[in-house]
Amino acid sequence: MSEEADNQEKSEALKQKEEQAAIMAQEQAIAESEKAIAEANKAKLEAELPAGATATPPEGTITTDDKFGYLAELVAYDTLTHQVEKLVKAVKDTELPKDCKILLVEDLNVAADDVHLLQVERQLETLKNGLAAQIEANKAHLQPSEPKKELVETKGIVETAIATAPVVAVATAGIGAVSNMFRADYTVKGKEISLSDTALRALIAGKLSKCSVYLPHFYNITESKLIDTFEEVVGQRWGLQNQVQQLNQQIVEPKKKKVAELEVEIKKLADPSLVERKQAKLEALTAEQQAAETAVLQSESLITACDESRKALLTAADDQTASPMEAAVLREKILALKVTHLLYATIVSSGGEAITSRRWLTSGHTAYLGGSVVSYILAKVEGDIVTADTLVRAGRLEYQMGSKEVPAFGEK
């Protein structure tokens, strides 16, 4: 009995193993079948995709490369328009007078340009007065008769001097900053976008159209008191040089010759009384000669100072694009406009991002993000701050890849 029981148990164990082996074989067959189906589906999918496609299963969010920049820049410019709307509303809310005149300045250092203008005015006025005084002093030495032919045509010299000034559109409300009126560096990879200050000022000027708005250098100059004074000074300089030649020809050289002749004559005289009279005459001639020579030296010093000043006024420094004279004339024009308010506005920062997300077998979706920060200050010309603020704004542009419609700008 014991042996039969053992055989029965072995048969049952063998039967179980056979059943397990059959199940495992069935499961393997099912797995192989599923694998074959998956491979068939994959082959079918690859056949349906366009040739050369490199689509891969999505792994989440994908950021675009450095070629997204222009659309992101447009979004940033769109935010700039909204910034200006807020800026202009704030300016109008200050209840400006009806006759207000606003100058859009390029930097905050406006007073320095006024000082520059005053310096040029004072320099020309000092030269003008000094030359006029010396010309009058020289007239006392000269003989009544004037030479019929003038040595220099002063008008032509003045026109030549003015023509040599570099004609560069630079305003004293920020010399050298004009250059800043156009686009600067553009770094897309770093998502940095430089918005144009020209666009900012154009937006402001357009939306403040009911007020009198001025831009530095954006005007005609048909007359200038400063240039008139400059021409007068140059004319005096050539008139003074003409006098110098007359003094030398009519007084210094003739007197010098007479003094030399009189000295020789005195040495030959034996009569003490005659020597005394001749000596008195010699002293008088010598005094006239020395006075004329002094006048010549003073005149020549003034001529040299005038020439050096003219060169300095008409020559732009190495770090400047406008000569001092040109900058002063431009500033003179601004003062003639009788501006009542100064408006400074600048783009503190701006930038953009582009993020593209896609799903398997669907068109991608891209969001172009852009933003800008604008600061502004409105003040009276006397310096009183009327209003000021810093504005921050961000916007986005949604685009569905494959769509033929251009989306409108929007804010989120």
Query: Residue 304 has what pLDDT?
Result: 93
* Residues above pLDDT 70, as percent of the chain: 73
In angstroms, rounded to a whole number, what is the distance separating the alpha carbons of residues 277 and 266?
A: 10
Please say if the pLDDT value at position 169 is more than 50.
no
| Residue (of 335, 351, 316, 113) closest to 219 by Cα position | 335
pLDDT in tens, 210-252: 788 998 888 888 899 999 999 999 999 999 999 999 999 988 8
Q: Which two tokens stand for residue 106?
A: 């390029």
Residue spans of the domains in the chain: they are 1-51, 59-100+175-215+340-412, 111-170+218-336
Q: What is the mean pLDDT of residues 57-66?
A: 49
pLDDT in tens, 107-161: 888 888 888 899 999 999 999 999 999 999 998 888 655 443 333 333 333 333 3
- Cβ contact 381:339 at 8 Å: yes
Angstrom distances, CA of residue 265 to CA of 84, 260, 274, 280, 287: 92, 9, 11, 13, 18
pLDDT in tens, 300-342: 999 999 999 999 999 988 888 888 999 899 899 988 989 999 9
Q: Which two tokens stand for residue 298?
A: 């003073």
Provide the residue count of the chain.
412
pLDDT in tens, 18-52: 777 777 888 788 878 878 777 877 676 566 544 54
Q: Determine whether 405 is exposed, middle or buried from the number of CB atoms within 10 Å of its CB (0-12, 13-18, 19+).
A: exposed
The partner residues of 371 in beta bridges, in order of sequence, read 351, 394
Q: What's the alpha-carbon Rg for the chain, to the nearest Å?
A: 45
**pLDDT level of residue 68 (50, 70, 90 thresholds):** low
